[in-house]
Amino acid sequence: MVITEVRIKLVEENNERLQAFCSVTFDNAFVVRDLKIIEGTKGSFVAMPSRKLTDRCGSCGCKNHLRARYCNQCGHKLDENRAIRDADGRAKLHADIAHPINSASREMIQSAIIRAYQEEKERSKQPGYICTYDDYDSDFDESTSYSGIVSEMGRSNLRTHGSHAAPRGTHLRGSGDEKSSRAENSAGGFGAGIM
């Protein structure tokens, strides 16, 4: 599998950690969109496209994001802390839609994207710069907490495909933060990746 194209959409300076959106093309045949480049505590990393997890209101049965304090449909008060938490107490609020299943492909994808991001930043300084990312869906969710994504990183990364059918919680590997993930990787373990 070869990455044949990376398209980057730089995000203007903001208070959040989001630096860019990007899409990746594999083998001139398959595109994954809506990856995000996020400023981590140790440099940029790539977040896979993800969706917010929801659950159903106990009163009316409608779906709400796990952070919602009141049901969008009926106004029923919801438990703010109902999201499933890992051993370190961090709430699981997002689930990846597409993601690598081993550390080699994760590293390959991340390094290609970060390199393209650096090049795009240089290109953006040139006159007549045009962004090639197809921004036809303008559903940038201002309310997304990228700090939250950062804190979720490193614990939901390297799942095998088979584990998709497993109950929630079994994906958790490693202790989570980038530092310990790195340590685990350098120790040669098949631990959590850095992304």
For Zn ion, give the closer residue by CB, 57 or 150: 57
**List of residues contacting Zn ion (CB under 5 A):** 57, 59-60, 62, 71, 73-74, 76
**Least distance to Zn ion, CB of residue 71, Å:** 3
For Zn ion, give the closer residue by CB, 62 or 97: 62
For Zn ion, give the closer residue by CB, 9 or 65: 65
Continuous H helices in the chain: 103-123, 146-152, 178-186
**Least distance to Zn ion, CB of residue 168, Å:** 22
For Zn ion, give the closer residue by CB, 73 or 163: 73
Contact status, residue 157 vs residue 45, Cβ threshold 8 Å: no
**Least distance to Zn ion, CB of residue 145, Å:** 23
Contact status, residue 53 vs residue 94, Cβ threshold 8 Å: yes
161 φ/ψ sector (left φ>0, alpha ψ -120 to 50, else beta): alpha
Contact status, residue 174 vs residue 141, Cβ threshold 8 Å: no
**Least distance to Zn ion, CB of residue 70, Å:** 8
C-alpha span between 67 and 78 (Å, rounded): 9
